[in-house]
Amino acid sequence: MLERDLIQSVGFRNVVSDGEATGYRFRVRIPSYRGMSASLIDGISVAVDGAEPVPAHVPTWTLGGRTYTLEQLWASEGVRWPLEEAAVVTVPCPGGLAPGTHELAVEIRLRMSYIPLEHQPTVVRSAKRLTLSPETSGDGRFRYGVSLYSHMHDYGTVLDLDAALASIADVGATGVEILGEGHVPGYPEPSAEWIDAWFAGIERHGLEPTNYGSWIDTRLRPGRSMTVEEGAVLLGRDLRLAARLGFGFVRPKIGVVSSDLVPDPIWEGVVERCLETAQDLGIVICPEIHAPTPIRHRVVEDYVAFIERTGTEHFGLLIDTGIFQDRPIPLREGETRESRPAFLDGIATDPADLALVAEHVVFVQAKFHDIDEDLTDRNIPWEPVLRALADIGYSGYLSSAYEGDRSPWRSIEQVRRHHALLRRLESEL
């Protein structure tokens, strides 16, 4: 599935040969209502950050998996630019482009046979700010992933599973996090065909399943609370489905009984009954520490006490980085400070508090809301957060979870900015 804009966010990368960047590439969809023969292309000029444009005859074109110069396109037979396929444009540029955001402007020239010669070539201009992620070597301090929650509202409307996985792989991430009831068709019994497609996509894009989001809806029945037995059935069911899909972590979203997210008292019995299943399946159950619950809280103390009492290695803590938010999220239309939860202004947990639970942190959901064109997060202080994680020896996944404006396709560019920011900060630690 293609993004609506002519210039696509996914696919903007440096071209590297023998360890050296020799240029950059990006994807463009055809600026027409139909596909056409590639010999009708009269070139594309490209300008980055207001610099002198690269002449239209210089970039090469990749269509159908084969790369052509402009002259080769003119001489080609049977090569087409289909409506549903983005062309890959490669621009020579010794040293490539620096990681970060860039303003990319293009001028595409096409020969339209049904338009009078005096109005030819047809010229289509477009510009877009794109984020170039740093090249990754795989030997960094942290591992990087993305939660499909980042693409809520896009998923199933303008993004299908394969397009979402492709966008994750394109930023150099290796992990994918899902929500069971949000991303598994036919939940809790997906078809064998869908499971095959899931694993095929994971393999095709070089990804691994990381964390599976589950729910224990303790208010399932009106007028009464859920029993431990009922809760254990739900969690056990999701543990088994997560294992079928290759996940190593399961985050149970347990019903709460207070505004500071104290979980329903059945949580302990539910989890304890499922520990043997988790052990058999090789899964770690990890409830999230989520605003407005800070690290210094009895919820966290109770989780740690449970680990110490049972001695289990299959229960740990998932840190949602929203707890470190120290600046308010902008008000939405019709919203006032008084009409929305106070924690949206940020609870500003001190990242140094991670040291209190260092040995129990098994996964980090890297929640964020908005990153600007200068790669500055407007709400979360990432440098002290990453430094604190490094200080406690955490080397697991940072799984981007975008929770900002849900305009179509915006999440793709925001995730790209997030990964560029995190990797830059990691390199500076």
Please give the angle made by the CA atoms of 169, 51 and 88, to the nearest 5 degrees.
Answer: 35
Q: Which of 27, 30, 23 is nearest to 9 (CA)?
A: 27
Residue type for 428, please?
E
* Three-state DSSP state, 290: coil
Residue 297 among the catalytic residues: no
This prediction's pTM: 0.94
Catalytic residue among 151, 183, 205, 290: 290
Q: State yes or no: pLDDT of 138 exceeds 70.
A: no
Q: Please, which residues have CB within 8 angstroms of residue 300's CB and are 6 or more apart in sequence? A: 289, 293, 317, 357
Residue 247 and residue 210: Cα distance in Å, rounded?
5
Among the listed residues 5, 10, 1, 369, the one whose alpha carbon sits nearest the alpha carbon of residue 157: 1
**Sign of the alpha-carbon torsion through 372, 378, 383, 385:** negative
Residue 171: pLDDT band by 50, 70, 90 thresholds? very high
Average per-residue pLDDT for the chain: 95
Strand partners, 268: none
Alpha carbon distance 321, 182 (integer Å): 21
Question: What is the phi/psi pair of residue 104, to 5°?
Answer: -110, 120
pLDDT band at 313, cuts 50/70/90? very high
At residue 19, the pLDDT reads 87
pLDDT score for 339: 85
